Homo-oligomer: A and B are copies of this chain.
């Protein structure tokens, strides 16, 4: 069943476009899943993609729109009239429609909204635009099935049939009171297994997980993962049911969050992809490189302080990249473990116990690595014994300090509400490089007295 784009398929489609065989093209594409068509459009050039977009009907194109890469979507939308955009949005769930509207400029936004045919749908979309995109309100959709606690199952089933027409997937049936306040839920299983005469108040489950409109998206993701939920209702400040969030939106949040942490650890500060433009990639990469370069200036100055060692103990300088690299690597390891622990909520215990653990861990690693270094410096690198001793004791100290910096900087940032992932990558390697070099030459100076 797996769909794979082949070069042949792309060629075939390009030929059909060139010869304007719209019917054949439509027949070919209508058989495909919208996510597959989106993949194809991403491979075509912009004019071809727009051509295809215009011959398919809006039921299909609306779904395709959601799956396109951002640039292409923006481009295609810029070629559609407000009325045409509104036709697309009429086909979409409220949350997806709101996401697309949010990407439009303010003028077009209002025009598009005024062109929406289904007034209820339009009201729901406008309501969703109020919320910050990083909150439950920004994630939620308005499509849900809800019943009144005062109904009986028969009324309920009738009402639900009507509501279900507008809901593509029925996750849970929420129970509300006359004020629309969330009271509980009915499971689909109950629906299948309970007699239709039972009153709702007797069968509903009063325990229901929910989030508030202003709950952060990552917190919603954490809750839904922890409690294995496929949908969660969203309530306003007064406890009234205003929407629901489904697991597919949460999968995106989890993926984005993990991608963001990964990119920060690699020194990339914006959400970019390999296929983005050179300018976008530069904007994402350059700031961290400039930071690293400035750190490099500091390391040059630090080394300059120990110029005196050059005449008699020049080979000390051969070890600076080694010491700096070890400091950087150890720091990144420590910080990555903390950042991941914070993200996954798996850190427990006090700061003090973490301190003890990190020191023991780095002592253990440090002693093993220092032994290898000591033997290596003697047998492989043939340096004098005293240099071996200096390098070895510097390595142990550097590993301990670097792992402490790597551990506590992200914890500190987190404490002050700053994303701890900022402390990974170039930031930690650069500061650890400098610390490492300083420690190394200080020890050398202490022992050799240059």
Q: Which residues of A contact B (CB under 8 A)?
A: 1-2, 33, 35, 42-43, 69, 157, 160-161, 164-165, 167-170, 188-189, 192-193, 209-211, 219, 223, 225-228, 230, 247-248, 250-251, 254-255, 258-259, 261-263, 265-268, 272-275, 278, 281-282, 285-286, 288-290, 292-293, 295-297, 299-301, 303-304, 307, 310, 314-315, 317-326, 328-330, 332-333, 335-338, 340-341, 344, 346-349, 354, 357, 360-361, 364-365, 368-369, 372-373, 376, 380-381, 424-426, 429-430, 433, 437
Contacts and interface: CB of A to CB of B under 8 A. Distances in A.
B360 A278 contact: yes
11 contacts: A1-B211, A259-B340, A265-B266, A273-B341, A275-B346, A286-B368, A292-B326, A292-B329, A296-B319, A296-B325, A297-B376
B299 A337 contact: no
Given A300-B381, A324-B325, 18 more contacts: A161-B192, A164-B192, A165-B193, A225-B255, A251-B254, A261-B262, A263-B336, A265-B336, A266-B337, A268-B333, A268-B336, A273-B337, A273-B344, A274-B338, A275-B341, A289-B329, A293-B326, A304-B318
Given A230-B247, A289-B369, A303-B318, A295 B325 contact: yes
Given A35-B226, A248-B247, A381-B300, A281 B361 contact: yes
A210 B192 CA distance: 25
Given A192-B160, A274-B347, A293-B326, A267 B333 contact: yes
Given A290-B372, A322-B296, A429-B325, A337 B281 contact: yes
Contact of A293 (B164, B227, B258, B372): B372
A319 B300 contact: yes
Contacts of A169: 188-189, 230
B188 A167 contact: no
B380 A297 contact: yes
B381 A301 contact: yes
A158 to B, nearest CB: 10
A261 B258 CA distance: 10
A281 B267 CA distance: 24
A267 to B, nearest CB: 5
A272 to B, nearest CB: 7
A320 B322 contact: no
A341 B274 CA distance: 6
Contacts of A255: 225, 254, 258
B329 A273 contact: no
B307 A348 contact: no
Nearest to A191: B192
Given A160-B192, A273-B340, A329-B292, A251 B268 contact: no
B266 A424 contact: yes
B318 A321 contact: no
Contacts of A230: 169, 230, 247-248
A40 to B, nearest CB: 11
A318 to B, nearest CB: 4
Contacts of A170: 188-189, 192
Contacts of A360: 278
Given A170-B188, A265-B266, A285-B365, A228 B248 contact: yes
Nearest to A246: B230
A322 B293 contact: yes
A248 B338 CA distance: 25
Contacts of A368: 286
Contacts of A369: 286, 289-290, 293
Contacts of A336: 262-263, 265-268
